[in-house]
Amino acid sequence: MCHPLLIIMIPALTVLAGVQQSSTGPAPHADADIVWKQAKDFFNSGKYSEAVFPLKRVVERYPGYPGFTESHFMLARSHMELHEPQHALKPARYYVSALGKKPAGLRARTLLAEIFLDLRKFNEARFTATEIMVARDKAGKRLAPADLYAESLLLKARAEMGLGRDDNALLAIESAKKEITGLTGDADTVARADWLRGESAWIELTHKTRECSRLPGKKRIDEGTARDRIGRRGDCLLEASLVLRSSYETTANKFADLSTKTMAEAAKSFLHACENPPDPAGSRTRLEIKRYKEELVQILRQDCGTKMDKLREFLTQWKQGASAMTAGRIDTFAKEIGSTQSK
């Protein structure tokens, strides 16, 4: 008589891995081998949606299997690639707890911090990033290598911005840039440094455009102050474009794309501010405010158009002598802001 557990397991394996049913079925270890191999094949091929099911089977059914701990990391990463941080949190936490301060455990904390950031759990993200930075061996030596330390600083910067602590975020960004500068050596190290430079530039750009967006403010101000503050916002945007350029000069496509999106949104937000200045100071009727704004907007359109023309001029200058990769990114950004003409 066939054991009841085998009756349950054999049909499941038939669907999962195409295993033929028999009177005995595969041994439990062989069952896990099949599921684990399929999970790794899907994961390593970037088929994260397909990888989730077999990875969950390993996590839920084979606690003694050699791939059990690693499957938690792979499951968490798969969910993140699928933009499902809510499902990635539990397996990531398990993996980090299981490995502790081992090298893989420290590196996995970057994934956990990313998950917290996506879930807007900024305090938890900051704490996790800090764990990497403060980890020491018995002799008091820092455990995190320079690249991991730099990445943890960048994660901390993002968490600080999420908490509204932009000054702290800027300090973390600057510290990360110093760590990245010291990354030299073999091809892998150089590639890693280039990736981190791209990530650093995107985070710095995000920080800078947040700074720009605070102008002109929401308080009632006179016409001269409104023009001055919106003009300063335009100048801030031009300064941010220099950070965009540094992002484009790396091979980190992911962060170059994110930087393009961030800068394009900042440009559109700037022009929105030009079309919607603050109310005037003093006591005025609704009709007076309406007429005041209509007249001011006409002036601001000229002012803001000049700033945008300057930005486009910068783009044209950058393309001269730029690599094909950088020139392509500049063209992409130019198209993004192509519709942001002053009216």
Average pLDDT over residues 98-123: 98
Question: Is pLDDT above 60 for 96?
Answer: yes
- Domain residues for the domain of 4 are 1-99
User: What is the mean pLDDT of the segment spanning 173-180?
Assistant: 98
Mean pLDDT calculated for residue range 74-100: 99
Q: Bridge partners of 136?
A: 142
- ∠ CA 256-259-261, nearest 5°, is 115
Q: Taking residues 256-269, what's their average pLDDT?
A: 96
What percentage of the chain exceeds 70 in pLDDT?
Answer: 90
Question: 112 in a domain, yes or no?
Answer: no
274-321: pLDDT as tens digits? 999 999 999 999 999 999 999 999 999 999 999 999 999 999 999 998
Give the domain-ending residue among 143, 176, 204. Answer: 204
Q: 245 with 159, same domain?
A: no
| 199 to 57, 152, 196, 260, 319: CA distances (angstroms) | 34, 12, 5, 13, 22
pLDDT for the residue numbered 28: 64
Are 145 and 187 in a shared domain?
yes
- Determine, yes or no, domain membership for 106: no
Q: Judge whether residue 265 has pLDDT over 60.
A: yes
pLDDT of residue 101: 96
Kindly state the DSSP code that residue 282 receives in the 8-state scheme. Answer: S
Mean pLDDT check: name the lowest of 21-30, 205-214, 260-269: 21-30
State which of 136, 169, 204 marks the end of a domain. 204
Residues 295 and 268 in one domain: yes
Instruction: Specify the 3-state DSSP secondary structure of 142.
Output: strand
Asked if residue 104 is part of any domain, the answer here is: no
Q: Do 186 and 275 sit in the same domain of this protein?
A: no
Q: Which amino acid is at 136?
A: R
Q: Cα separations (Å) of 126 from 164, 283, 318?
A: 12, 46, 36
- Identify whether the C-beta of residue 129 lies closer than 8 Å to the C-beta of residue 152: yes
Q: Does 71 lie in the same domain as 33?
A: yes
- Cβ neighbors of 139 (< 8 A, separation 6 or more) are none
Tell whether 111 is covered by a domain.
no
Both 158 and 194 in one domain: the answer is: yes
Q: Are residues 234 and 298 both part of a single domain?
A: yes
Q: Is there a single domain that holds both residue 18 and residue 94?
A: yes
Give the global pTM.
0.86
Q: What is the pLDDT of residues 226-237, one digit of tens each?
A: 999 999 999 999
Confidence of residue 339 (pLDDT cuts 50, 70, 90): low
Q: Is the pLDDT of residue 157 over 90?
A: yes
Task: Tell me how many domains the chain contains.
Answer: 3
Peptide bond into 216 cis (omega under 30): yes
Domain match, 165 and 267 both: no
Backbone angles phi, psi at 116, to 5 degrees: -60, -40
Structure token digits, residue 6: 């085998």
pLDDT band at 113 (very low <50, low <70, confident <90, very high): very high
* Residues 241 and 333 both lie in one domain: yes
- Assess whether pLDDT exceeds 50 at residue 87: yes
